[in-house]
Amino acid sequence: MTSTHALQRAETEALVREVVRAILPGVPEELIGETRHLRDLGADSVDRVEIIATLVERTGISTPMSEFSDIPDIETLVDFLCKEQRR
């Protein structure tokens, strides 16, 4: 991974953590780990849609919501967002 990609990934991971904390304020930050799914953090379907919609808006990508349905964890979500931002 180049330093540019590493920086983008770190920024994207920070953004995901920020958005998750804003929408799920009762979740301790240390629980927002790479291997956790949003469901594991207590996010119901409405919360998950709100998190994804906010991330799509904040990153400026134009990926359909349906593309996010098979993402198993936060690490994969960060990777997916980074990939979409490079397009």
Structure tokens that stand for 45 in this block = 């379907």
Residue 65 near residue 49 (C-beta atoms within 8 A): yes
Give the start-to-end residue ranges of the domains of the chain.
Answer: 3-86
Tokens describing residue 2: 């180049």
Task: Print burial letters for 45-66: b (CB count within 10 Å at least 16), e (below 16).
Answer: eebbebbbebbbeebebebeee
Residue 1 has pLDDT above 70, yes or no: no
From the list 28, 34, 41, 8, the residue with the least C-alpha distance to 50 is 41
Q: Band of the pLDDT at 77, cuts 50, 70, 90?
A: very high
Where are any strands of DSSP class E within the chain? none
pLDDT of residue 25: 96
* Confidence at residue 71, expressed as pLDDT on a 0 to 100 scale: 94
| Architecture of the domain made up of 3-86 | Orthogonal Bundle (1.10)
Q: Are 67 and 53 in contact (CB under 8 A)?
A: no
pLDDT digits (tens, 9 = 90+) for 2-59: 788 999 999 999 999 999 999 999 999 899 988 999 999 999 999 999 999 999 999 9
